[in-house]
Amino acid sequence: MARYKTIDKKGNEITPRIALHPGEVLNDELLARSIKKSAFAEMLGMKPGHLSDLLHGKRHVSAAVAIKLEKLLEVKAEYWLRIQMYYDLFVEREKFKKAA
């Protein structure tokens, strides 16, 4: 299996120092499109409080939610799941660093 790395000009691997939760990205998307959060929660079939939790990083984007986001925003479900996965990996790596 191929292993891909992002490297700088000197050949050093670049690892991000921050991670964005998909909720942050979704919040920016809603703002950019002038979509009201309460209306969007209804379109998603989600309680406004649950959407708020997602936007504040307290809930994860599931495959089901990612598919709904794809339908409503025309942004691929894989994109939302990829952001969630990168966020989860970042959080776990930080835990391992602190434990070491």
Please report, for the domain that includes residue 46, its CATH number. 1.10.260.40
Residues 18-47, mean pLDDT to the nearest whole number: 96
89 part of a folded domain? yes
- Tell me if 10 is assigned to some domain: no
| Residue ranges making up the domain that contains 67 | 22-93
Q: Check whether 15 has a pLDDT greater than 80.
A: no
Higher pLDDT, 9 or 33: 33
Q: Residue 67 falls within a domain, yes or no? A: yes
Please tell me the predicted confidence (pLDDT) of residue 10: 87
Residue 6, in any domain of the structure: no
Encode pLDDT of 75-96 as tens digits. Answer: 999 999 999 999 999 999 989 9
Measure the CA–CA gap between 72 and 85, rounded to whole angstroms.
Answer: 21
**77 lies in a domain?**
yes
- What pTM did the predictor assign? 0.81
Give the number of domains in the chain. 1
Three-state DSSP class for residue 82 = helix
Residue 12, in any domain of the structure: no
Residue 37 has pLDDT above 90, yes or no: yes
